[in-house]
Amino acid sequence: MDNGAPVFDYTPEGIRALADQVINDFEAGVKGLALLSRENRDFSNTVLAFERAVSDFSEAVNIPIAMAYVSDNAEVRKAAQELELRISQYSVDIFTREDIFNALNEYAAKGEKLGEVESRLLSKTLLDFKKNGLGLEPRKKNKVKKLLKELIELELSFSKNLREVNDSLPLTLEELKGLPEDFVSRLEKTSDGKYLVTMNYPDYIPFMDNAESDGARKRLEAMFNNRCAASNVRLMEDAIALRRKIAGLIGYPNFADYMLDDRMAKNSANVIEFLERTWAKLRKKGRKELRQRAKLKNKRVGGLDKTLDAWEWRYYNNQLKKEKYALDHEKIKEYFPLETVINGMFDIFGRVFAVKFETADLPVWHKDARAYKVKNVDGSTAAYFYFDLFPRDGKYKHAACFGLRHGREDRDGSYIVPAAAIVANFPSPCSGAPALMKFDDLVTLFHEFGHVTHNIFTKAKYGKFSGTSVSRDFVEVPSKMLENWAYYGEVLKRVSGHYKRPEDKLPDGLIKKLISTKNMDSGLVYLRQIFFSILDLRYHTAKGKVDTTRLYEKLMKKISLIPMSSGTHPAASFGHLMGGYEAGYYSYLWSELIAADLFSVFEEKGIMDPATGARYRELILAPGRSYDEAGQVEKFLGRPAAEEAFLRSIDAV
Coil, strand or helix: which one is 628? coil
The residues facing 408 across adjacent strands are 416
Pick from 337, 356, 305, 408: which is nearest to 59 by CA?
408
Pick from 596, 603, 446: which is nearest to 522 by CA?
596
Strand order in the sheet with 168-171: 168-171, 195-198, 188-189
Q: What are phi and psi of 430, to 5 degrees?
A: -155, 155
- Rounded CA separation 163/423 (Å): 13
- Rounded CA separation 579/446 (Å): 22
Q: Is residue 85 a contact partner of residue 153, using CB atoms and an 8 Å limit?
A: yes
- Pick the catalytic residue: 448, 483, 582, 629? 448
Strand order in the sheet with 419-423: 355-359, 370-376, 381-388, 419-423, 400-405
* Residue 583 half-sphere exposure toward CB, CA atoms < 13 A: 25
In this structure, what DSSP letter does residue 436 have?
Answer: B
- Rounded CA separation 653/644 (Å): 8
The residues facing 328 across adjacent strands are none
Q: Is residue 341 a contact partner of residue 442, using CB atoms and an 8 Å limit?
A: yes
DSSP 495-531: T---SS-TT-PPPHHHHHHHHHTTTTTHHHHHHHHHH
Provide, for the chain, the percentages of residues in helix, strand and coil under a 3-state DSSP scheme, each rounded to the nearest 5: 60, 10, 35
Count, in order, helices (H) and strands (E) of the chain.
25, 10
- Rounded CA separation 76/73 (Å): 5
Number of neighbouring beta carbons within 10 Å of residue 268: 22
44 burial type by CB count under 10 A (0-12 exposed, 13-18 middle, 19+ buried): exposed
How many residues does the structure list for the chain? 653
Q: Is residue 419 a contact partner of residue 401, using CB atoms and an 8 Å limit?
A: no
Whether 448 is a known active-site residue: answer: yes
426: left (phi over 0), alpha (psi -120 to 50) or beta: beta
- Rounded CA separation 462/119 (Å): 12
- Rounded CA separation 297/83 (Å): 50
Coil, strand or helix: which one is 421? strand
Residues 6+ apart with CB under 8 A from 1: 361, 362
* 154, 158, 164, 167: CA torsion to nearest 10: 140
Across 435-512, the runs of DSSP E, i.e. the strands, are none
Q: What are phi and psi of 179, to 5 degrees?
A: -85, 145
Pick from 465, 378, 482: which is nearest to 418 by CA?
465
Among all residues, which ones are annotated catalytic? Answer: 448
